Amino acid sequence: MSKLVSFVVLITIFFISPTLSAENIVFIDIDKVIYQSDLGKKLNKKIAKDIEKEDKALKKKEKELKVKENDILKQKNILSKEELNEKISNLRTEIENFKTQRRSINKKFADLRLKQTNSMVLSLNSILSDYANKNSISLIIQKKNIVIGKTDLDITDQVLEIFNKEVKSLKN
């Protein structure tokens, strides 16, 4: 009889325990919080504006290089071979410098985005930690790692609201 009672208690604990712990698991769409938050929108808008400004300058430089190339092609039959080779060499150097400048600018903006995103994620982690403690949540899973889940387990909108209230700028 005691073996039967022990077995029933063990089975009950085995089946009830996962059910109780499932209530403490939620998920969040971190990308939505990062990119649709007030701060995220503001930072993305600023970066887009800066990229557009740099892009205009690069396009202007690119047009200048094309004009120089066309001028060299027009002078091809007039210039001596040494002068032509020198102008072509100078143009190639300018083109390489232009390409290096473009790569540098692209890297600068990619690094800036990464730095800002990492800073926002650090702020989000502290908010999630507080949220989990206040709401007795055992586990928060990133939404992109879930195939299907109950929509009432999605805390993205609540956390987004908290994030917008608490995080107004990035900490350096």
The 10s digit of each residue's pLDDT in 104-137 is 999 999 999 999 999 999 999 999 999 999 988 8
Per-residue pLDDT at 28 exceeds 60: yes
Name which of 12-16, 100-104, 110-114 the model is least confident about: 12-16
Per-residue pLDDT at 75 exceeds 60: yes
Per-residue pLDDT at 25 exceeds 70: yes
Give the integer Cα–Cα distance in Å for 46 and 163.
19
Among candidates 29, 32, 98, 111, which has minimal Cα distance to 69?
98
Give the integer Cα–Cα distance in Å for 172 and 123.
12
Q: How confident is the model at residue 147 (pLDDT cuts 50, 70, 90)?
A: confident
Give the integer Cα–Cα distance in Å for 43 and 20.
41
Between 79 and 10, the higher pLDDT residue: 79
Q: Output the six-digit token pair for 122.
A: 């650090």
Query: All domains of the chain, ordered by start, with CATH?
Result: 2-166 (3.30.910.20)
Which whole-number Å values give the CA distances from 74 to 61, 67, 78, 79, 111, in the listed order?
Answer: 20, 10, 8, 10, 42
